[in-house]
Amino acid sequence: MEYGFKAPPEPKHVDRKLLYTSLEERIKYLHAFLDFNSSDVEALVSGTKYIKQLIPAVVNLVYKKLLECDITSRAFHTRNTVDETEPEEDYLDEDAPQIKRRKMFLRWYLTRLCQDPTTMDFWRYLNKVGMMHSGQVRRSPLNIEYIHLGACMGYIQDIWIEAMMSHPHLSLRRKIALVRAVNKILWIQNDLFARYHCSDGEEFADEMSVMSFDDQEGYLGDKRILGSSSNSSVDDDRSSISSGVAPSTHSVAPSTKTSTSVAASASKTSVCPFADMAKPSSTETKIWAN
Ligand code: HEM
């Protein structure tokens, strides 16, 4: 009996330097690794409607979360999370005009996530969002340490999974496809935050493409998007909070309580934007628990 020896396939070559010096190559590598493929694009295109429905609630929940603790809330005064000096003004609450404006920017961002991910422009935009939080933009730098960015991505992902999986009408097949596709995008965004906070590849720093960056407020928001979503005014934030979509409407001063008590209070509230559409069932998730 002959045992045919089959040589293992040659591994695909990935040029390490290009991962740091070419955004396109970095994105290509992440796509290949995560298997971001045409099924994901199809799921996103056909699911845009469901993603868009979630945007106002996600924005409210994210800002509620960011204002909950002083270390993140301070960033809206000081543009950084490093300086622990108390701000001279009062901490902002969700209804402060500055926060409403910021919410609008986040809404633009999330709306942009619903657009065509097959173009490099899409990924360039995500990369700019990553870079602008890294303190590397010269004019009025915004320096948010990675721990907060990573946690925030995790929080967005958690809202997303819970909301999609408990959607009352979508088939399980579509829920799974949408959760997977959006998660891949969120993980790529996470990489595009992390890359500006770690020293990997720093030996190529001189060769990294220099991005011209106009860091004027709202620069990252696409005005066309704002135009096309004219029915989502700043007031939408309020209505979506008070419609039972988001947890408690009470604005609280940023908390300095222990993480256990923060976690305990967070777990009391459901984050599901579809909560009011669902009938109670015996297979309740934590969303329906309250
Ligand atoms: C991780 C998910 C996050 C995403 C997707 C995100 C996205 C954005 C976007 C799109 C803008 C608007 C940029 C513009 O057009 O001017 C922005 C601005 C801002 N973000 Fe984030 N952000 C995230 C996390 C955070 C965290 C964790 C903090 C604070 C702890 C933070 C603090 C800020 C501040 C202070 C601004 C305002 C910058 C300005 O005044 O121009 N962000 N963010």
Query: What pLDDT is stored for residue 197 in this prediction?
Result: 96
What residue owns the CA closest to ligand 1's atom 29?
Answer: 72
| Confidence at residue 275, expressed as pLDDT on a 0 to 100 scale | 47
The 3-state DSSP class for residue 132 equals helix
How far is residue 102 from each of residues 32, 119, 166, 227, 248, measured CA to CA in Å? 34, 26, 28, 17, 20
pLDDT at 156: 97
CB 179 near ligand 1, within 6 Å = no
So where are the chain's domains? 39-198+213-277
Residue bearing the CA closest to ligand 1, atom 16: 218
103: Cβ below 6 Å to ligand 1?
A: no
Cα 9-13-19 angle, rounded to 5 deg:
150
pLDDT at site 217: 57
Distance 97 CA to ligand 1 centre (A): 16
> What is residue 137's predicted lDDT score, i.e. its pLDDT?
84
Which mean pLDDT values do the consecutive 10-residue runs of the chain (290 residues) have?
A: 78 97 97 97 94 94 97 96 93 93 94 91 96 90 97 97 94 97 97 96 83 55 38 29 29 43 40 45 35
81 lines ligand 1 (CB under 6 A): yes
Atom of ligand 1 nearest to the CA of 79: 35
Pocket test for ligand 1, best of 73, 102, 192, 223 (most atoms within 8 A of CB): 102
Give, in degrees to the nearest 5, the angle at Cα 212 between 211 and 218: 110
**Residues 246, 57: Cα–Cα separation, whole Å:** 6
The answer to whether the beta carbons of residues 124 and 238 sit under 8 Å apart is no
> For position 218, what pLDDT does the model report?
57
What is the position in ligand 1's atom list of the atom closest to the CA of 190?
Answer: 1
* Index of the ligand 1 atom closest to the CA of residue 105: 12
Q: Which of 233, 222, 194, 178 is nearest to 39 (CA)?
A: 178
Alpha-carbon torsion 9, 15, 20, 23, what sign?
negative
The residue behind tokens 């590849």 is 201
pLDDT at site 252: 39
What is the DSSP secondary-structure string of 178-226? HHHHHHHHHHHHHHHHHTTTS-TTGGGGGGSPPPP----TTTTS-HHHH
Residue nearest to atom 39 of ligand 1 (CA): 217
143: which strand partners? 80, 134
Atom number of ligand 1 nearest to Cα 148? 27
Strand, helix or coil for residue 45:
helix
Look up the CATH superfamily of 39-198+213-277: Globins (1.10.490.10)
Give me the pLDDT at residue 211, please: 55
